Structure 1
Amino acid sequence: MIPGSFDYVRPSSLDEAVTALRDAGDEGKVIAGGQSLLPLLRLRLAYPEVLVDVGSVPELHGVRDEGSSLLVGAMTTHYEVMRDPLIREYAPLVAAATSTVADPAVRHRGTFGGSLAHADPAGDLPAVAVAMDAVFVTSSREIPAGEFFSDYLTSALEPDEVLVGVRLPKAYAGWGFHYEKFHRTAQAWAIVGVACLVERSNGGITGARIGLTNMGSRPVRASAVEDAVAGGAADREAFRAAAENAADGTSPPSDLHGSAEYRRHLAQVLTARALSKAAGA
């Protein structure tokens, strides 16, 4: 299908982008890499009157070291994130999950911030952001990851607000990590995914952070599993027992790819697997 008509604006600064969105009101939409928005436009599931292309805003590009955290610019592509030495050193879970996003063509064009702002619970990166307690930096405020994802394809961003970047804490740099994803084909959305961070000490688990993909209308933390493994042994039997709680408090969808019951089962299996791989068990 052909998208509806719209005006196109390409600002060269953050202030210009905010002004353009404010002038457009509820009829404006930010476009970054376009890998999520363009299909919606073609299907006429989205029909903004104004598209604000933020690709020329310099503040939105690159990865910066901020001491205790990294700031990943919203326009940094998936490919750049995967290869960035700071990401690999201090946030390797982000690099691992990003490498599973769609296919190489999408990863070269799609952006880190665009994928997160799209707020699709089946996307790979929202669960990672929630697991890591990332902070979303916008043109006007900072939003913790736990408050950023409001509902299906809905974030806390206001109509005139631009996502500048995502702050990733370095606190988990030495933790074991793994992103486990079940999908039909390499390019498909995750039926269920698990973003896992594990801290080991003296053969046991001292801490865990687990985010779940596609287990509700927004990414969720598997808090019951985190509590169950903390202070316990780093072995597969313990992880399998703890993972029985993986679906607690979730509301997975039922669709052509799997029922809610099937997704709950997958969450248990994949969480146990992710814990084992993250812990090296």
Structure 2
Amino acid sequence: MIPASFDYVRPASVDEAVAALAEAGDDAKVITGGQSLLPLLRVRLAAPTVLVDCSRIEAMRGVSDEGSSLLIGAATTHHDVMHDPLVRRHAGLLAAATATVADPQIRHRGTFGGSLAHADPAGDLPSVALALDATMVAAGPAGRREIPAAEFFVDYFTTALEWDEVLVAVRVPKLDTDAGWGFHYEKFNRTAQSWAMVGVAAAVQRSNGSIAQARIGLTNMGPTPLRAAATEAALAGATAAADAVGGAARHAAEGTSPTSELHAQADYREHLARVLTKRAVMAAAGIS
């Protein structure tokens, strides 16, 4: 199909982007890489009157070191995120999960912020942002505000962003390997480039043979990304051994609400969550 007609604006700064949204009204859409929005436009599941293209705004690109955290521009491509030395050193889970997103062509065009703002429950990166306790930085007519990942994802394809706000950056706390952190992203999908049927983002900190703490984000186990809170609690202070991890992973699906569809019923997704959580935590903790 052919998209419905729309006006196109390409601002050169964040302020210009915010002004363009305010002028266009709530029928406008922000576009950066377009890998999520363009397919919706083609089948007219989205029909904005104005597209505000933020892909050329330099202030929304790149990765900077803020001491205890990294600030990643929302328009930074997946390719640049996964290859950035700061991300690979201080946010290994993000680098690992980004490497599984779709295929190289999409990773060269799609953006980190676009994936989060799209808020697809089957997307890989929202659960990673949740597990890492990331903070979203939004710009609007009233200035900038910060939104914790736990508050950012509201419902299916719905975030806490207002219609006249732009996601400009994401602040990701550092979890370094020299502090005992290990990472792994595990997902199950039907084909190499398809959406995750279920995914698990695990960050585990080891100390003296035990698991000091674990952060586990679940992909496609509800309308928003979720934390496997019961498993995290069971792992805190547990021995870093397969039996302990397996016991904790049995609680991974608690508090979730997976959907049933053609390729996976809800109970099968719950089974996958338990199996993949065990695999991800063991890999992150270095347990063979």
Is TM-score (shorter-chain normalized) higher than 0.5?
A: yes
**What is aligned with 1:53?**
53
Runs of 4 or more, structure 1, over 2 Å off, are 171-174
**What is aligned with 2:124?**
124
**What is aligned with 1:63?**
63
**Which amino acid is the alignment partner of residue 162 of structure 1?**
V
Cα deviation per residue 1:104-129 (whole Å; 9 max; x = unaligned)? Answer: 00000000100111001100000000
Secondary structure at the aligned position of 1:59 is classed as: helix
How far off its partner does 1:172 sit? 5.0
Counterparts of 2:204 and 2:175, CA distance in 1? 12
Counterparts of 2:263 and 2:40, CA distance in 1? 20
Task: Please say if residues 177 and 197 of structure 1, whose CA atoms lie closer than 8 Å, have aligned partners that are also in contact.
Answer: yes
Identity fraction in percent: 67
How far off its partner does 1:25 sit? 1.2
**What is aligned with 1:9?**
9
Q: How does 1:64-79 map to 2 (within 5 A)?
A: 64-79=64-79
**What is aligned with 1:85?**
85
**What is aligned with 2:172?**
168
Does residue 33 of the first structure (1) align with residue 33 of the second (2)? Answer: yes
For structure 1, the residue ranges without an aligned partner over 5 or more in a row are none
Counterparts of 2:37 and 2:22, CA distance in 1? 20
TM-score using structure 1 length = 0.99
Counterparts of 2:137 and 2:168, CA distance in 1? 6
Task: Please say if residues 121 and 219 of structure 1, whose CA atoms lie closer than 8 Å, have aligned partners that are also in contact.
Answer: yes
**Which amino acid is the alignment partner of residue 157 of structure 2?**
L
Counterparts of 1:32 and 1:172, CA distance in 2? 30
Does residue 198 of the first structure (1) align with residue 198 of the second (2)? Answer: no
**Which amino acid is the alignment partner of residue 38 of structure 1?**
L
**What is aligned with 1:23?**
23
**Which amino acid is the alignment partner of residue 211 of structure 2?**
I
How far off its partner does 1:57 sit? 1.2
How far off its partner does 1:58 sit? 1.4
Counterparts of 1:102 and 1:256, CA distance in 2? 21
Does residue 269 of the first structure (1) align with residue 272 of the second (2)? Answer: no
**Which amino acid is the alignment partner of residue 200 of structure 1?**
R
Does residue 243 of the first structure (1) align with residue 249 of the second (2)? Answer: yes
Does residue 233 of the first structure (1) align with residue 239 of the second (2)? Answer: yes
**What is aligned with 2:135?**
135
Aligned residues between the structures: 281
Counterparts of 1:189 and 1:240, CA distance in 2? 26
**What is aligned with 1:180?**
186
Query: Structure 1 pair 145/172, CA: closer, same or farther in 2 (3 Å)?
Result: farther
**Which amino acid is the alignment partner of residue 69 of structure 1?**
S
Cα deviation per residue 1:83-107 (whole Å; 9 max; x = unaligned)? Answer: 0000000001000000000000000
Cα deviation per residue 1:236-267 (whole Å; 9 max; x = unaligned)? Answer: 11111111100000000111120000000000
Cα deviation per residue 1:190-239 (whole Å; 9 max; x = unaligned)? Answer: 00000001111111111000000000000000010000011111111111
For structure 2, the residue ranges without an aligned partner over 5 or more in a row are none
How far off its partner does 1:171 sit? 3.9
Task: Please say if residues 89 and 176 of structure 2, whose CA atoms lie closer than 8 Å, have aligned partners that are also in contact.
Answer: no
**Which amino acid is the alignment partner of residue 196 of structure 1?**
A
Please, which of 196, 204, 217 is the counterpart of residue 211 of structure 1? 217
Task: Please say if residues 20 and 52 of structure 1, whose CA atoms lie closer than 8 Å, have aligned partners that are also in contact.
Answer: yes
Cα deviation per residue 1:11-34 (whole Å; 9 max; x = unaligned)? Answer: 001111001001111110000100
TM-score using structure 2 length = 0.96
Cα deviation per residue 1:58-81 (whole Å; 9 max; x = unaligned)? Answer: 110000111111000001000000
Secondary structure at the aligned position of 1:122 is classed as: coil
Please, which of 253, 258, 262 is the counterpart of residue 252 of structure 1? 258
Secondary structure at the aligned position of 1:26 is classed as: coil
Secondary structure at the aligned position of 1:141 is classed as: strand
Task: Please say if residues 172 and 197 of structure 1, whose CA atoms lie closer than 8 Å, have aligned partners that are also in contact.
Answer: no
Q: How does 1:139-150 map to 2 (within 5 A)?
A: 139=139, 140-150=144-154
Counterparts of 1:275 and 1:13, CA distance in 2? 41
